[in-house]
Amino acid sequence: MANNWGIPDWLEKEVRNRDKLCVYCRVKMENKPKKNNLRHGATFEHIDNNGEPTTQNIAMCCNSCNASKGTKKLSDWLQTDYCKEKNINKKTVAPIIKKFIASS
């Protein structure tokens, strides 16, 4: 394992190749963000906080969205002011998130 989150190398590579934009707000993320602009830094996201690290449960999102979501359930987080202000909803999120919502 090459990272601090316990995500296998093969899974990290697959997720990084799939998710070039934040899966929530769709901003272009930076793998090595500048210190004065960390909010667009790429972070790993457990869509279901209690789920295992799989291709269906690990995604890349920006620091800002990850910090806002924290440990909230996705359905609860989508109702927050943060999501409303950024126009993040079940129609605007990435396909991997739409798939998760449909299976929930």
Q: Which residue has the tokens 């601090």?
A: 4
Tokens encoding 73:
């359930």
Cα(40)–Cα(20) distance, rounded to whole angstroms?
A: 12
Cα(91)–Cα(93) distance, rounded to whole angstroms?
A: 6
Tokens encoding 31:
């793998």
Taking 60 as the threshold, does the pLDDT of residue 36 lie above it? no
Domain ranges of the chain: 9-103
Taking 60 as the threshold, does the pLDDT of residue 69 lie above it? yes
* pLDDT (tens digit per residue) in 39-59: 667 888 989 888 888 889 999
Structure confidence at residue 62 (pLDDT):
93
* pLDDT (tens digit per residue) in 5-29: 678 889 989 999 999 999 999 999 8
